[in-house]
Amino acid sequence: MQALRRGDDSALDRLMARWQTPLRAFLYRHTQNEFDSLDLAQETFVRVYRHRDRFRPEAARFSTWLFSIALNLARDRARSLGRRPTTALENAPEQIDPVAHPRAQTESNERAGAVRAAIAELPDDLRAAVILFEYEAKSHAEIAAIVKATPKAVETRLYRARQLLRKNLARWL
């Protein structure tokens, strides 16, 4: 990012190569739509380039800044559509164990689908916290910076999300 700020435009290619996959995964989990996640990831990198002078390494890590931009774009898209994204997460690829028994694999896929559906039903603030913590392995402090909340608020959101997930996934527990 420092190279990009100094005017090395090829640094954006290196940033995109490093962050494209985790960013798209985050956006897919948040929007539940592969095409929207691709569009939003591209728009995120456009914003990174446009606002490269606004990045302050002393204020936040690059990943925090990047995911904040992406989350804001995803929220803006959902608001502009006037609805929460409704494309089902059932289409998300699962990791398949070729040696697993078909019944076990089917149950595993059903359980994973139920978890994805339950996460999709969470309110936006809880869903963002869960996705960033569980799937993106962000700390409470990093999540707080991304969602513009306190670490304690993030902790509370995760607690509330887990309670709702436990309730909605009771049959699988």
pLDDT digits (tens, 9 = 90+) for 41-87: 999 999 999 999 999 888 889 999 999 999 999 988 888 776 544 44
Q: Is the pLDDT of residue 101 over 80?
A: no
Q: Residue 95: inside a domain, yes or no?
A: no
Q: 96 in a domain, yes or no?
A: no
Residue 92, in any domain of the structure: no
> Residue 88 pLDDT more than 50?
no
Q: Work out the burial of residue 69: count CB atoms within 10 Å of its CB; fewer than 13 is exposed, 13-18 middle, 19 or more buried.
A: buried
Which one has a higher pLDDT value, 100 or 155? 155
End-to-end CA separation in angstroms for the chain: 44
Q: Whole domain around residue 157: which residue ranges? A: 101-173
Mean pLDDT of the chain: 84
At residue 20, what is the residue type?
Q
DSSP 101: -
Burial bucket for residue 36 (CB in 10 Å: 0-12, 13-18, 19+): buried
**pLDDT at position 136:** 87
Q: Looking at the 3D structure of the chain, how many domains does it have? A: 2
Q: Give the global pTM.
A: 0.63
Tell me the pLDDT tens digit for each residue of 16-52. Answer: 999 999 999 999 988 888 899 999 999 999 999 999 9
- Single-letter amino acid, residue 134: E
Taking residues 125-146, what's their average pLDDT?
91
Residue 29 covered by a domain: yes
Residue 38 lies in a domain: yes
Identify whether residues 115 and 67 lie together within a single domain.
no
Residues 80 and 108 in one domain: no
